[in-house]
Amino acid sequence: MLATGDEAMQSLQKFVRAQKIDAAGLTAIGAFERAVIGYFDWDKKDYKRIPVDEQVEVLSLIGDVAEADGKPALHIHAVLGKSDGSVVGGHLLEGHVRPTLEVILTQPPAHLRKKKDPETGLALIALDRS
């Protein structure tokens, strides 16, 4: 569980590296004081940054931990609810927790582990058929 002042990506990255978790599924709910979400620009192969500068509910946060370049890497998508009930969502780049973020990590069976795909630079599920 993360608390006010924690930045979700940094805190979770630190946690999975410390615990040596290189494959896991992740879900969370809670709230952010502000966040930055990304939209993957296919041509640039990079994320367009979309700042969300208001208190939002973390309605749904789903992601995974995969190994990339020998280290555990996080990939998280977020659906964020605004005060008027509208939602914004995208690839989570920054989430500044206030007051809490309840995170559940689930470790999957080995055959669903992800590997970084050299073409897209994204971590994709690599079904090992050997």
Residue 58 CB, shortest distance to Zn ion, in Å, is: 16
Residue 4 CB, shortest distance to Zn ion, in Å, is: 26
Do the beta carbons of residue 55 and residue 98 sit within 8 Å? yes
Paired strand residues for 119: none
Tokens of 88: 């914004």
* Residue 114 in the binding site for Zn ion (CB under 5 A): no
List the one residue from 28, 73, 91, 103 that touches Zn ion (CB under 5 A): 91
d(CA 130, CA 116): 18
Considering beta carbons, is residue 91 or 96 the nearer one to Zn ion? 91
Count of residues in contact with Zn ion, rule CB under 5 A? 1
SS3 67: strand
Residue 92 CB, shortest distance to Zn ion, in Å, is: 8
Do the beta carbons of residue 99 and residue 31 sit within 8 Å? yes
Considering beta carbons, is residue 91 or 114 the nearer one to Zn ion? 91
Q: Which residues bind Zn ion (CB under 5 A)?
A: 91
